[in-house]
């Protein structure tokens, strides 16, 4: 018991010393804490890379990349409290829980710390703004563009393999995709089938599409289970080169199918861009160069700018396209 106390004291002293050290060192630098769901996750390591890139571009920024060791709200609250104690200028967080973090983040804002959430959001009262990787409209436009761009003269027949018929996200994306279809007059949408995000049902539905529509040119699957199953079905049916599988997926899961040619390209957010943009926004807000209010426009360096909506949320960009040229770089990240 006694031993533990001594050790805790020693650790506390050490921490205090290191805190004083950093404060003294980085007096004139804007210190932005990038708080992630948990350390050691490829996606967030990549986001931290993006944050460092933004810091290098801005010059007077110090990035503190931190997070709990497992994905819990409690762990993040501890991290936030320690960041408040360190007196950072801004916190950019991907939250493990939208509500549980609100009191801790409110405390941070009361101390004059800029708080934004990115990737996984916090309830509006717990942050100044939230950065979404993309928006429903941009995703809908992207998935049809991916299919069309790989067809000669943007002409051909496509079908959608979705998750379940009641999946909200997928239904909105497909709706947005249909709205964007007038831009591609020569693309014919044959139908939408549902694989319920089960590998076997998605595979069977994809096989059904291949059998029913001999003229099928592309399968669009805006779901990570579906796109992998469809790519496998196209491979097994010997239709590589004839039917292109595209949609939303993760590079680590799709790497094999991009290599085999079953999928020429697919999209998902780019974590590097996301960390970069979150850092840019946190910087501009912390320096008072921009204000987080509905309708405000905040510049995000090479990514352009974002516009805040009525809940102070903004969409970064359209999903990032992955293909044979960059899949190897990203397949180990997420």
Residues that bind other proteins (CB under 8 A): 164-165, 191, 193-194, 197-201, 203-205, 207-209, 211-212, 225, 228-229, 231-232, 236, 252-257, 259, 331
Q: Which is closer to other proteins, CB of 212 or CB of 311? A: 212
Q: Which is closer to other proteins, CB of 12 or CB of 40? A: 40
Q: Which is closer to other proteins, CB of 125 or CB of 200? A: 200
Strands 265-268 and 313-315, bridge-based pairing: unpaired
Provide the minimum distance between the beta carbon of 223 and other proteins in the complex, in angstroms, as a whole number: 13
Provide the minimum distance between the beta carbon of 265 and other proteins in the complex, in angstroms, as a whole number: 16
Q: Which is closer to other proteins, CB of 191 or CB of 304? A: 191
Give me 129's structure tokens.
């703004």
Give me 25's structure tokens.
């060192």
Provide the minimum distance between the beta carbon of 122 and other proteins in the complex, in angstroms, as a whole number: 23
d(CA 271, CA 50): 7
Provide the minimum distance between the beta carbon of 256 and other proteins in the complex, in angstroms, as a whole number: 3
Q: Which is closer to other proteins, CB of 138 or CB of 258? A: 258
Q: Which is closer to other proteins, CB of 207 or CB of 321? A: 207
User: For the chain, where are the alpha helices, taking DSSP H only?
Assistant: 2-25, 42-58, 73-86, 102-110, 136-149, 168-180, 199-212, 224-236, 251-260, 271-286, 327-330
Provide the minimum distance between the beta carbon of 65 and other proteins in the complex, in angstroms, as a whole number: 21
Residues 150 and 181 sit within 8 Å (Cβ to Cβ) = no
Provide the minimum distance between the beta carbon of 229 and other proteins in the complex, in angstroms, as a whole number: 6
| CB-count exposure of residue 58 (10 Å: 0-12, 13-18, 19+) | middle
**What are the beta bridge partners of residue 193?**
161
Contacts for 83-86: CB closer than 8 Å, 24+ residues apart:
83/33, 83/35, 83/108, 83/113, 84/108, 84/111, 84/113, 85/19, 86/19, 86/22, 86/23, 86/31
Dihedral sign of CA atoms 213, 138, 250, 254 in order: positive
Provide the minimum distance between the beta carbon of 258 and other proteins in the complex, in angstroms, as a whole number: 9
Residue 323 makes CB contacts below 8 A (sequence gap 6+) with 258, 264, 265
Q: Which is closer to other proteins, CB of 297 or CB of 332? A: 332
Provide the 8-state DSSP code for 126. G
């Amino acid at each position: 018991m006694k031993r533990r106390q001594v050790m805790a004291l020693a650790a506390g002293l050490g921490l205090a010393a290191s805190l004083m050290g950093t404060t003294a060192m980085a007096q004139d630098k804007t210190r932005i804490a990038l708080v992630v769901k948990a350390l050691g996750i490829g996606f967030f390591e990549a986001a931290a890379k993006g944050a460092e890139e933004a810091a290098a571009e801005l010059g007077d920024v110090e990035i503190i990349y931190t997070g709990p060791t497992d994905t819990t709200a409690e762990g993040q609250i501890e991290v936030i409290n320690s960041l408040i104690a360190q007196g950072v200028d801004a916190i950019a967080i991907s939250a493990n829980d939208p509500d549980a973090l609100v009191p801790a983040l409110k405390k941070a804002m009361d101390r004059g710390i800029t708080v934004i959430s990115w990737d996984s959001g916090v309830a509006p009262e717990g942050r100044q703004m939230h950065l979404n990787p993309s928006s429903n409209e941009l995703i809908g436009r992207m998935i049809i563009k991916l299919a069309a761009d790989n067809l000669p003269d943007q002409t051909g027949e496509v079908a959608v393999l979705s998750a379940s018929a009641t999946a909200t996200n997928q239904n909105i994306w497909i709706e947005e995709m249909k709205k964007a279809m007038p831009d591609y007059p020569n693309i014919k949408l044959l139908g939408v089938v549902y694989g319920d995000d089960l590998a076997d049902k998605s595979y069977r539905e994809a096989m059904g599409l291949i059998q029913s529509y001999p003229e099928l040119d592309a399968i669009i699957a805006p779901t990570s289970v579906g796109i992998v199953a469809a790519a496998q079905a196209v491979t097994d049916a010997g239709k590589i080169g004839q039917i292109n599988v595209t949609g939303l997926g993760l590079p680590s899961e799709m790497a094999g199918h991009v290599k085999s040619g079953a999928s020429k390209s697919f999209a998902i957010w780019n974590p590097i861009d996301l960390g970069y943009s979150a850092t840019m926004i946190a910087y501009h807000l912390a320096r008072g160069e921009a204000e987080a209010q509905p309708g405000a426009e905040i510049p995000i360096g090479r990514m352009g700018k974002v516009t805040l909506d009525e809940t102070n949320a903004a969409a970064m960009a359209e999903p990032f396209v992955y293909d044979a040229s960059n899949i190897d770089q990203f397949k180990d990240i997420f």
